C-alpha cells in the first residue's frame, strides 16, 4: 500500500486525465512529497481509487518513464529514479498598462528567465472587468500567474482559485498582504525617503508641488509626499494636471507621469525659467532617456531591471517571500 493523496483528478476539466496524473506526480516531486527511491502507487491502486482505466494510468506512467522520472520493475512496482524535473514553465504576466518603464521590467524578466519558460503578456488597463475575465479564462492554463493588482479591491477570491501559482508585482493591496509571493514597491517610503535624501537641494526652493493625476497612481505616493512636506515644514500643493498653469520661480515639482514631465519642461522653457535653479523637477520612475532630458532629470525610482530579475528568480526557485524592491534617488541637474 502506498500514499495516493498527492494525486488529484478532476474529470470535468479539459485537461486529459493522464496529464493530470503526470502533473500531480511532477508537482509532488517539486514539493519533495515524493523523493528519490520512493515506491509509486501501483497502476491498479490508482485506477481503482479514481475510477480510471488502467490504460489511462499506464499512459501517464509511460510518459514519466520515458522522461526518466520513474522506472518500472515488472511484477514489483514503479520507483522514482530521478527528481530532475525541469518542468517547463508557462507564465501569465498580467500588467496594468503598457508604458515606457515596463520595457525594462519586461525585458530584464525575459532575459533572466531565458528559455526556461514561455511568457505571455496581458494588460488589464485598470479595467476591473477585464482583469477578472482574463484571470478566469486563463485559470489552469499557466504554471505561474504574475499579477499587477493596481488598486483593485476584493480580488482575493479570484486569486485564491490559482493558489500556489500567484505572484504579486508592483502594488500590494492590504487585503493580499502576507498571502502571496510579492515584489512590491513601498511607494510611501520611496517618495518620502527619496525627497528626504534630496532635502538640501529641495531647500533651495520656496514651495513644492506634486502633480498627481490620481486614479492609476497609488495614493501612498501622495502620503509620502505630504509626510515629507510637513516634516520639513515646507509649503506644498497637490494639483491634478498642468493645464493653464504658469510655473513660478522658486517652485519644485514632483511629477509621477511622463506626459506631465514633458509639459513641465516646456512650460519652464516658455517662461524662461532655468530648470535646476529657477525651478526644480523630480520625476518618478526612471527611464534611460531621462538622463538626458533637459540637462538630466532627477528621479526617484524603483529598480525595474532588478524587479524583473527578482521575479524570474522567485518563479524559478519557488521563493515565497514578500520583498520590497530597491529604489534610489538619482540626482541630476533638474534639482
Partner DNA sequence: TCTAATTTGTGCGTATGTATG
Partner DNA sequence: GCATACATACGCACAAATTAG
By the criterion CB under 7 A, which residues form the site for DNA? 16-19, 40, 42-45, 52-56, 58-59, 61-62, 65, 72-78, 139-140
**Footprint on this chain of its own copies (rule: CB under 8 A):** 12-16, 36-37, 39, 71, 73, 75-77, 79, 81-82, 84, 97-100, 102-103, 106-107, 110, 120-123, 125, 133, 136-137, 258-259, 261-262, 265-266, 287-294
8 A C-beta contact, residue 56 and residue 17: yes
Chosen from its own copies, DNA, none, partner binding at 290 (C-beta under 5 to 8 Å by type): its own copies
C-beta closer to DNA: residue 164 or 288: 164
Give the nearest distance from C-beta 10 to DNA in angstroms: 11
The dihedral through the CA atoms of 311, 315, 316, 320 has a sign that is: positive
Distance between CA atoms of 282 and 253, rounded to whole angstroms? 6
8 A C-beta contact, residue 210 and residue 225: yes
CA distances from 60 to 4, 44, 69, 125, 142 (A): 15, 13, 11, 41, 20
Chosen from its own copies, DNA, none, partner binding at 287 (C-beta under 5 to 8 Å by type): its own copies
Distance between CA atoms of 249 and 71, rounded to whole angstroms? 78
C-beta closer to DNA: residue 43 or 134: 43
Give the nearest distance from C-beta 73 to its own copies in angstroms: 5
- The residues near 36 (Cβ < 8 Å, ≥ 6 apart) are 80, 81, 82, 83
C-beta closer to its own copies: residue 99 or 240: 99
Chosen from its own copies, DNA, none, partner binding at 288 (C-beta under 5 to 8 Å by type): its own copies
C-beta closer to DNA: residue 43 or 261: 43
C-beta closer to its own copies: residue 188 or 286: 286
Give the nearest distance from C-beta 143 to its own copies in angstroms: 16
Give the nearest distance from C-beta 162 to its own copies in angstroms: 14
Chosen from its own copies, DNA, none, partner binding at 79 (C-beta under 5 to 8 Å by type): its own copies
Distance between CA atoms of 283 and 256, rounded to whole angstroms? 6
**Backbone φ and ψ of 315, nearest 5°:** -70, -45
C-beta closer to DNA: residue 58 or 81: 58
Task: Output the nine-digit C-alpha cell for 324.
Answer: 520590497
Distance between CA atoms of 278 and 87, rounded to whole angstroms? 58
Give the nearest distance from C-beta 324 to its own copies in angstroms: 25
C-beta closer to its own copies: residue 14 or 246: 14
Chosen from its own copies, DNA, none, partner binding at 121 (C-beta under 5 to 8 Å by type): its own copies
Distance between CA atoms of 137 and 134, rounded to whole angstroms? 5
Give the nearest distance from C-beta 250 to its own copies in angstroms: 21
CA distances from 329 to 126, 252, 283, 286 (A): 28, 16, 10, 10
Let me know if 272 is exposed, middle or buried by CB neighbors in 10 A (0-12, 13-18, 19+): exposed
Amino acid at each position: 500500500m502506498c500514499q495516493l493523496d498527492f494525486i488529484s483528478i478532476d474529470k470535468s476539466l479539459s485537461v486529459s486525465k493522464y496529464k493530470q496524473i503526470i502533473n500531480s506526480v511532477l508537482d509532488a516531486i517539486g514539493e519533495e512529497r515524493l523523493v528519490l527511491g520512493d515506491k509509486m502507487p501501483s497502476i491498479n491502486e490508482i485506477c481503482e481509487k479514481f475510477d480510471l482505466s488502467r490504460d489511462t494510468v499506464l499512459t501517464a506512467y509511460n510518459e514519466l518513464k520515458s522522461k526518466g522520472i520513474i522506472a518500472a520493475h515488472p511484477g514489483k512496482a514503479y520507483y522514482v529514479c530521478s527528481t530532475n524535473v525541469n518542468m517547463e514553465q508557462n507564465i501569465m504576466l498580467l500588467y496594468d498598462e503598457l508604458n515606457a518603464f515596463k520595457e525594462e521590467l519586461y525585458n530584464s524578466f525575459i532575459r533572466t528567465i531565458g528559455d526556461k519558460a514561455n511568457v505571455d503578456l496581458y494588460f488589464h488597463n485598470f479595467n476591473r472587468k477585464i482583469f477578472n475575465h482574463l484571470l478566469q479564462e486563463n485559470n489552469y492554463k499557466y504554471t505561474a500567474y504574475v499579477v499587477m493588482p493596481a488598486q483593485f479591491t476584493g480580488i482575493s477570491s479570484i486569486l485564491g482559485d490559482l493558489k500556489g501559482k500567484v505572484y504579486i508585482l508592483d502594488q500590494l493591496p492590504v487585503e493580499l498582504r502576507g498571502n502571496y509571493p510579492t515584489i512590491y514597491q513601498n511607494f510611501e517610503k520611496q517618495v518620502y525617503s527619496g525627497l528626504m535624501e534630496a532635502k538640501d537641494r529641495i531647500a533651495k526652493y520656496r514651495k513644492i508641488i506634486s502633480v498627481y493625476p490620481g486614479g492609476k497612481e497609488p495614493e501612498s505616493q501622495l502620503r509620502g509626499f505630504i509626510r515629507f512636506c510637513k516634516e520639513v515644514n515646507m509649503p506644498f500643493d497637490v494639483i491634478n494636471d498642468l493645464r493653464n498653469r504658469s510655473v513660478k520661480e522658486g517652485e519644485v515639482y514632483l511629477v509621477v507621469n511622463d506626459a506631465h514631465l514633458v509639459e513641465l519642461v516646456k512650460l519652464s522653457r516658455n517662461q524662461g525659467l532655468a530648470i535646476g535653479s529657477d525651478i526644480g523637477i523630480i520625476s518618478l520612475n526612471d527611464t534611460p532617456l531621462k538622463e538626458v532630458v533637459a540637462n538630466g532629470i532627477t528621479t526617484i525610482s524603483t529598480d525595474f531591471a532588478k524587479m524583473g530579475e527578482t521575479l524570474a528568480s522567485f518563479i524559478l526557485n519557488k521563493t515565497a517571500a514578500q520583498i520590497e524592491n530597491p529604489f534610489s534617488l538619482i540626482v541630476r541637474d533638474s534639482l
